[in-house]
Amino acid sequence: MSDRDPSSLHATASASGQSAGLMSAPRRQFITGTAAAAVASGLHSGVWAQGSDAPEKKEVRIGFIPLTDCASVVMASVLKFDEKYGIKIIPTKEASWAGVRDKLVNGELDMAHVLYGLVYGVHLGISGPKKDMAVLMNLNHNGQALTLSRKLADKGAVDVASLAKVMATEKREYTFAQTFPTGTHAMWLYYWLASGGINPMKDAKVITVPPPQMVANMRVGNMDGFCVGEPWNHRAIIDGIGITAATTQEVWKDHPEKVLGTTGDFVRKYPNTARAVTMAVLEAGRWIDASLSNKNKMAETIADKSYVNTSVDAINQRILGRYQNGLGRTWDDPNHMKFFNDGAVNFPYLSDGMWFLTQHKRWGLIKSHPDYLAVARQINQIDLYKQAAAQLKVSVPKDPMRSSKLIDGVVWDGKDPAKYADGFKINAAASA
């Protein structure tokens, strides 16, 4: 399938996207504020494509890793939403998150579908070079998982509690994989293990493996478990080598995950381009979430070898919320991966970015408390996002902070991040 001319998809894009934009009554806690935002921002009606609002850079290279949640970036190109906003998105497939990081920093990529925590790590100079970074929007909520090897499952380790029991009774070195040291999957893995009394810094060995290589590494026995995005958890089940012990939405319902990331320099130099890309990707996310048919068409598109390079059946079940654990249990999960959800997904909450910093502090990736709120304000481009959302009549929340209860019962609301970060009994210091 061509990445620019899928005639079977293009015809449905406009109508589906328009119908998806209608807000349902229960979502009224999100204020549209379209008119007010437009006035405040000095916007005019219509698409940002001419005059001083025209994109400064017409071709935008956006890196992605072969994962289901690259879909809104890919579909923005495939469905030609980008052309509506005067740009051409060139999706570029990358091999690892470290590669994405390096190419963002040196300018080979303009933007990327990227791990939230990677962006924050680069901004602070941990896990690589230090560079001012920017988050334009959140790309998805939910949809990652914790996979344990079939060998461990056969010994009774099917969730975090039973994993802790097996590790306590059968003493050896247990190895778990994540995808990048400061990234989302590392934080979900650590949080999940700690919720079961397992200190990932003391009780296990943790390695970094690129997402598409997870299944192959488990097959040859290189790890006992991993945290990664789909479709690689479901692929491990299909291949008979792993089981799903937990989903990340069980760790944190509606958690932030991938973002549309770039450098601070790019936003300063090309603000109109940044806004145009945000609008195109936002519209693509709205299209994906608009119907089951769109989700299935998305799965068929991104399964192609030029994108995720897997079978459609490895993708299409979990994006519809149809889960199995590989041991006979099946369930419908209402908190499956979402790309839009009436706009609730995409707003770059300051508290979301701050949470990753609290976990970086918890696990010793940063040694002292940063100014959590100031860092989040530097990175998360809320004003630019609001401008893009106003043009698409997408609702935005009243408050850039949100509150959530995680798997261990602890509430995160961003109000006292230093106290929150220091409040965990299982942390890097406890492993010293």
29 pLDDT exceeds 50? no
Instruction: Give the pLDDT confidence of 399-410 residue by residue, as tens digits.
Output: 999 999 999 999
- pTM, to two decimals: 0.89
Instruction: Give the pLDDT confidence of 89-119 residue by residue, as tens digits.
Output: 999 999 999 999 999 999 999 999 999 999 9
What local confidence, expressed as pLDDT, does residue 27 receive?
35
- Choose the weakest-confidence range: 1-10, 137-146, 250-259: 1-10
One-letter amino acid at 303 equals A
What local confidence, expressed as pLDDT, does residue 413 receive?
98
Instruction: Give the pLDDT confidence of 36-54 residue by residue, as tens digits.
Output: 333 333 333 344 445 578 9
What local confidence, expressed as pLDDT, does residue 432 receive?
58
28 pLDDT exceeds 50? no
Instruction: Give the pLDDT confidence of 60-94 residue by residue, as tens digits.
Output: 999 999 999 999 999 999 999 999 999 999 999 99
List, in sequence order, every residue forming a beta bridge with 93; answer none if it has no partner: 64
Domains along the sequence of the chain with CATH:
7-142+257-325+340-350+374-400 (3.40.190.10)
What local confidence, expressed as pLDDT, does residue 400 receive?
98
34 pLDDT exceeds 90? no
Q: What is the average per-residue pLDDT within 248-269?
A: 98
Q: Is 372 exposed, middle or buried (0-12, 13-18, 19+ CB in 10 A)?
A: buried
Q: How confident is the model at residue 390 (pLDDT cuts 50, 70, 90)?
A: very high
23 pLDDT exceeds 70? no
Residues 6+ apart with CB under 8 A from 234: 244, 314, 315, 317, 318
Q: What is the average per-residue pLDDT within 14-33?
A: 35
133 pLDDT exceeds 80? yes
Considering only CA atoms, which of 398, 387, 404 is closest in space to residue 351? Answer: 404
Round to whole Å and give the CA distance between 329 and 321: 14
Round to whole Å and give the CA distance between 381 and 399: 14
What local confidence, expressed as pLDDT, does residue 416 receive?
98
Round to whole Å and give the CA distance between 317 and 19: 24
Average pLDDT score over the chain? 90
What local confidence, expressed as pLDDT, does residue 194 receive?
98
What local confidence, expressed as pLDDT, does residue 430 receive?
85
Considering only CA atoms, which of 287, 290, 278 is closest in space to residue 389? Answer: 278
